Amino acid sequence: MTERLQKVLAQAGIASRRKCEEYITSGRVEVNEQVVTQLGVKVDPEQDEIKVDGRPIRLQSKLYLAFYKPKGVISSVKDPEGRKVVTDFVQQINQRVYPVGRLDYDTEGLLLLTNDGEFAQLLTHPKYHIPRTYHVTVKGVPHGDVLEKLKQGVELDDGMTAPAEVEYHDIDPDKNRTVLTMTIYEGRNRQVRRMLEAVKFPVVKLKRVQFGPIYLGGLSRGRYRELSQDEVKQLKAAAMESHNVQNTK
């Protein structure tokens, strides 16, 4: 059966579909010894020889992982500066996986890894608004009016954010620190940190504890577990549900 070339590449775990499209247009992909630069070409992965950067692709079983990313680790498969990356923690897996979205260098917590480009695209595409929940530690105790601003959305340099869900998780008067539970529905760069900075409560510590229906649970830093088929179905359903909700607004 024939499929679009970029879809076959994504299913083979090369990268997300969007990134695979870049590989094609930049001349890095060959089909039956011919360089392909046009999108929309259809191939049969069972019959056609497909190469990326001169290396044949291999169709592989799909893998979905929940990983506890430690602070000080890059959400990537490689880093030109030689810093630790998330795939350093899954080297015993004989399949290439990559992160679904990212957590910034100073943020820890739940990060999904996969070799399924279609799945990654579904969960990170801007038209889908899958909730992401964080425990956010700040100095001081934000008053209720501060939380109300976050709930209504705040103005950032790239526009007004969508409303967030925010509540007190823990207050430590001795250390003059507060932990908030905060859920956002967008995936902007460093969004939680920038929202808290906008209301004058810079983040001291940030930990993602939930992505859609998936919880960090009892995972230890640097450890991972494989998602069940039911959890994968729940994630896909959450993405589609969020898209349908947005379309009805």
pLDDT confidence of residue 248: 47
Domain assignments of the chain as residue spans, ordered by start: 3-56, 64-115+217-248, 132-211
DSSP, collapsed to helix, strand or coil, labels residue 50 as strand
Q: How many CB atoms sit inside 10 A of residue 134's CB?
A: 28
The fold for domain 3-56 equals: 3.10.290
Nearest to 181 by CA among 131, 145, 118, 228: 131
Do the two domains 64-115+217-248 and 132-211 of this chain adopt the same fold?
yes
> Can you tell me the distance from the alpha carbon of 118 to that of 19, in angstroms, rounded to the nearest whole number?
11
Buried/exposed 68-93: b ≥16 CB within 10 Å, e otherwise: bbbeebbbeeeeeeeeebbbebbeee
Which range has the worst mean pLDDT, 65-69, 120-124, 231-235?
Answer: 120-124
Catalytic annotation, pick one of 79, 104, 116, 158: 104
Higher per-residue confidence, 239 vs 193? 193
Q: Does 238 or 206 have the greater pLDDT score? A: 206
Q: Could you give the 3-state DSSP secondary structure of residue 78?
A: coil
The pLDDT mean for the chain works out to: 91
Look at 8 and 126; give whichever has higher pLDDT.
Answer: 8
* pLDDT > 80? residue 138: yes
Q: Which fold has domain 132-211?
A: Alpha-Beta Plaits (3.30.70)
Please classify residue 54 by burial: count the beta carbons closer than 10 Å to its beta carbon, then call 0-12 exposed, 13-18 middle and 19+ buried.
exposed
- What number does CATH give the domain 64-115+217-248? 3.30.70.580
Over residues 60-73, the pLDDT tens digits come to 788 999 999 999 99
Residue 116 annotated to the active site: no
Instruction: Note the pTM of the prediction, 2 decimals.
Output: 0.79
Task: Write down the pLDDT at residue 18.
Answer: 86
**Pairwise CA distance, residues 115 & 119, whole Å:** 9
Of 96, 63, 109, the closest CA to residue 214 belongs to 109
**Would the CA dihedral through 119, 123, 125, 128 be positive or negative?**
positive
